Structure 1
Amino acid sequence: MSAMDMHAVAEQGLAVLWRVTWQGALWALTVWALTRALPRLPSSARAALWWLVGLKCLVGLCAPGLVRLPLLPAPESPPAAGVKVDTAPAHPDTALEAMRMDGEAPLVEPSPERTGTHGVVLGVLLAWLGGLAWQGWALLRSLAQLRRIRREARPLEDATLHQAAAALGRELGLARIPRLRVSEHAPSPLALGLLRPEIILPRAALEKLSPQEQRMALAHELAHVRRGDLWLGWVPALAQALFFFHPLVRRACREYALAREEACDAAALQATGAEPHEYGRLLLVFGVARAPAAAAMPGASSHLAALKRRIAMLEHAATDSMQRPRWIRWALGGLALVALVPIQVVAREPEASTPVLALAQAPSTTLKDTYVLLHSNDSATMSGSMEDLRTAKALAGADGKPLAYVRRGGREYVIRDPQTLAAIGAAFEPQRELGEKQAKLGEQMEALGEKQAEVGEKQAALGAKQAALGAKQGELGGKMGEIGLKIAELALARARQARTDGKESPEHERQEEQLEREQEALDRQMEEYSRQMEALGDEMEKLSEPMKQFTRPMEELGRQMEELGRQMEAHSREADKKVQALLDDAVRKGLAEPVKR
C-alpha cells in the first residue's frame, strides 16, 4: 500500500471515528435529558436507554452503509491547476483533446499536494489504536481473572440452595436454571457464561449469610441471567473500549451498569418478597464488592456513591419491574430502530457537476473530418487521435510551423495558408477566453481549499490532544478500578470480622478512609481531565465556524464554474460549425494540399 493510500485510509477512518463521536455525544445527552425529565422511570428502562447509547456507537463504527442526510452546503473541489486549455469539437471516436504537449504525451501539471496533515492524521489514528490496545489488554486481563475464578470453582452441594434457585428461577420466568458453583476466590456472587450460564457464590459468604440473604443474592444473579445481561453487557463494554477517550460514552456505560444493577435489585426484592432494609444490609456486604471488570458486562461502579444510589432506589423498588409498561416497550423499540440506522450528515448534491478541467463536452453531432490544428510543437487543438497528432508534428518538421492536418473520407490534407489557420484559431477564441476564466476561478477555489486545509490541520491537532487526554483518562480509570477492588475486598473483610467478633477493626477503618481519600483524589483528577476535554471540544466548535465561512464562497465559485462549463459547451458547438465551413472552403479553393505517403 502506497503512502497516499495509507493516508486516504487514515483520513477515512478518522472521519468515521469523528462522526460516531459527535453522534454518540448527542445520544448520550438525549438519554441524560430523558432520565432527568422522568426521574421515576423504571431502572430497567433507564438501563435500556443507556445501553442504546453504546449500541449507537458500535453500529455507527461498524455499519457498512450509511443513511445520508444532505443537511450541509455542497463544497466544490478546486480544478487541477497548471493546464493550458484550447478546446475544439470532438470526433465521434475520440474525446476532445486540448493540451500542451511534450513530445507525444500530454503534459498536465498536477496541483501541489498538501501533505502537512498526513502526519497529524496518522498520529491521531495511531494514538487511538494505542489506547484501544491498552483497553483491550485490560479487558483480557479481567477475562483471564474471571476464567480463573470459574475454573477453580466447585459444584455447590447444598440441596436447599438448589431448591431455592429453582423456585426463584420460576418466579423470574427462567426456562433453564443456571448451574450453581462455589468459589474460594470470588469477591461476590457472579453470573458468568454466555452459552452455559453459571452462578458462582463465595464460600465465605455462604457460611456467614442467613438463608434469606442467600436467596436474595441468588435472585439478583438470576435476574442478570433472565435479563440477558451476560450477552447485552458486551455492547457497552466494547463501546467503552473503543471510545475510551469519550467522557460521555464512558458516563453512559457507567450509568447503564448502575441502572442494570438497580433493575436486578428490584427484581430480586420482588422475587423474594424481602423488605428493602433487609436487602440494604446485603448491599452493604456485596454492593461495593463486584467482580473484576467483567466478561461481557462492565460491573457497576464500585464507588460508595453508587452504593448509596442503589440503596436509595430500594424505596421505589415496588414501582420497578421486569415487565415494563407497554408504552415504555414501544418507545424503547422505536429508539432501538433509530439507533440501528447509521446516519451521516453530508453536503447537498450540486445541480450539475462542476468541470474540473476547462474542456468542452463532446457535442452530439457527428463530424465528417478529423483534424489537428498545430500551433507549435508543444501546443495544439485537435479532434482526433494521438496518431493524427504525431502525423501533424511530422508534417510540421523540426521548426514546428503552424499547420492544419485534416483526414477526410480516407484522404489526408495539410493546410498551411496563414489566413485559413488564423480563421480556424479565431473560431476557438471564445473558448480560450472561457478557459482563462475557468483557470482564474480554479486558482480562487484552490486558495480557499488551502485555507480550509489550514483549519483542518488545527482541528486534527486538537483531535490529537483529545486522543492523548483520552488515553490519560483511560489510565486513570484503571487506577480507580484497582482502588475500587481494594475497597470491595476491605468491605468484605470488615463484614466478616463484624459477624465473627461483633465489632469492626480500627485498622480496617483506617485503610478504608485512606482508600476513599485516594479515590476522591482520582475523581478530582478525572474531573480536571473532563474539563480539559470539554475545553478542547469548545475550541473544535469554534473552528467549525470559519470552515462554514469558506464553504459558502466555495459553493458560489462552483456555480460560476458550472455556468462557464455550459457556455463552453455552447461555444464548442458553434466553433464546430465554423471549422467545418473553413475546412470545406480550403479544400474547395485548393488550399488543402494532399499528403503524400
Structure 2
Amino acid sequence: MVRHTSEARRSAAPLSRILAGLCLGLALTAGAHAARQPGTVDSYALVGANERGMTITGEADDWRRLKAVRKQVGDREFLWVREGGKAWVIQDGATLAKVHAAWEPVERLGKQMGAYGQEMHRHGKAMDALGREMDRTAGTMQPDERRIKDVERRMSAVGREMEQVGRGMARADADERARLQARMAELQGDMSRLGAEMGDAAQSRAQREAQQSMRQVSLRMDEASKPIDELGKRMDALGKQMERESERADKAVRAVIRDAMARGLATPAPQG
C-alpha cells in the first residue's frame, strides 16, 4: 500500500523547505512497486527542517512511526528509511543534498503543473460563469400561460361551431349546404390563425430572445472550452513526463540510501 500524507503549514515557504518538494510524492507508485529483495529499501521519507510536513513512500503504519521519530529528532531535516523491518535516520548533509538533487527535475515540473492548474482554474471559473448565465436565461423561457388559455378558449368555441356546421350540412339543401360550406371554410381559417397564435403564445418573443441568447452563450462556451481541452492535453503530457522523472528520481534516491547505509551514515531511528 502506498500512502502520501502531508501536514505542512500552508505558507509561502519554498517547497524544498517543507518536504524537499511535493515532487517526492509523485513517485509513490514507483516506490510501491519496487522489488522487495533482502537488503533493499522498503520505504523512505524526507522530512523538512523547521516544518511539520512529511512525505512517505510506504505503508500506513509508517506514518505513525515517522511522527514519533519527528518528535525525537527535532526540527532538523532528515531522511527516514525502513529496511527489513528496521528503521534508520540519515542526517548527512551531502546525502540529503543528493536526494534534493534527484528530485529537483520533478519539483521543477511540479511547479509547471501548478501553473497549469491555476490556468485551468481560471478557465473553469469562466465556464462556471457562462453556465450560470445559461441557467438564468433558461429561467426566462416560460410560455405565456394566460394567453395560451385564452387561445384555447377561442379554439374550443370555433371547434364547437364547426361541429354544428358539420351536422347542419348533413340535412341541408343545396343552397344551405353552399352557405354552410362557406362558413366552414371561414371557421377553418379561424382555426388555422388560432393555431399560429397558439404557437406564438407557446413561444413568446421573450422566449425567442432567450433562445437566441442561449445559442450565443453556447457558442461562447464552445470557444471557452477550446483552451481547456488544449490545456488538459498539455497537463496530461506533463503528468506522464513527471511520472517518468519520478521513477528515475526514486531509483536514484534508493541508490543514494544504499550508499549512505554502506558508509555507516545511517543511525537507528529513535523509538517513540
- TM-score normalised by length of structure 2: 0.73
Give 1:528 deviation, angstroms: 6.2
**Whole-Å separation in 2 of the counterparts to 1:435 and 1:526:** 58
Partner of 2:35: 366
1:482/1:361 CA distance change after superposition, 3 Å: farther
**Whole-Å separation in 2 of the counterparts to 1:492 and 1:396:** 94
Letter in 2 for 1:436: K
Give 1:422 deviation, angstroms: 2.5
The reply on whether 1:535 has 2:209 as its aligned counterpart is: yes
Give 1:554 deviation, angstroms: 1.2
1:486/1:595 CA distance change after superposition, 3 Å: same
Partner of 1:295: none
Partner of 2:155: 484
**Whole-Å separation in 1 of the counterparts to 2:166 and 2:229:** 70
Give 1:573 deviation, angstroms: 1.8
Letter in 2 for 1:483: R
Q: In structure 1, the residue corresponding to 2:2 is in which secondary structure?
A: coil
Aligned length: 241
The reply on whether 1:451 has 2:118 as its aligned counterpart is: no
Give 5+ residue unaligned stretches, structure 1.
1-92, 108-357, 505-512
Partner of 1:559: 233
Question: Conserved in 2, the CA contact under 8 Å of 1:372 and 1:406?
Answer: yes
Partner of 1:57: none
Give 1:543 deviation, angstroms: 1.7
Give 1:460 deviation, angstroms: 1.6
1:421-500 correspondence runs (5 A): 421-466=96-141, 468-469=142-143, 472=144, 476-494=147-165, 499=171
The reply on whether 1:100 has 2:17 as its aligned counterpart is: no
**Whole-Å separation in 1 of the counterparts to 2:120 and 2:27:** 20
Give 1:435 deviation, angstroms: 1.0
- TM-score normalised by length of structure 1: 0.36
RMSD (Å), alpha carbons: 3.6
Give 1:361 deviation, angstroms: 6.5
Partner of 1:409: 84
The reply on whether 1:393 has 2:67 as its aligned counterpart is: yes
Give 1:576 deviation, angstroms: 1.7
Give 1:445 deviation, angstroms: 0.7
Give 1:419 deviation, angstroms: 2.6
Say which of 586, 589, 597 aligns to 2:260: 586
Say which of 45, 48, 53 aligns to 1:375: 48
Letter in 2 for 1:564: L
Deviations, residues 249-283 of structure 1 (Å, cap 9, x unaligned): xxxxxxxxxxxxxxxxxxxxxxxxxxxxxxxxxxx
- Return the structure number with greater helix share: 2
1:521/1:495 CA distance change after superposition, 3 Å: closer
Q: In structure 1, the residue corresponding to 2:222 is in which secondary structure?
A: helix
Percent identity of paired positions between Structure 1 and Structure 2: 25
Question: Conserved in 1, the CA contact under 8 Å of 2:151 and 2:198?
Answer: no
Give 1:408 deviation, angstroms: 0.8
Give 1:451 deviation, angstroms: 0.7
1:426/1:566 CA distance change after superposition, 3 Å: same
**Whole-Å separation in 2 of the counterparts to 1:576 and 1:558:** 26
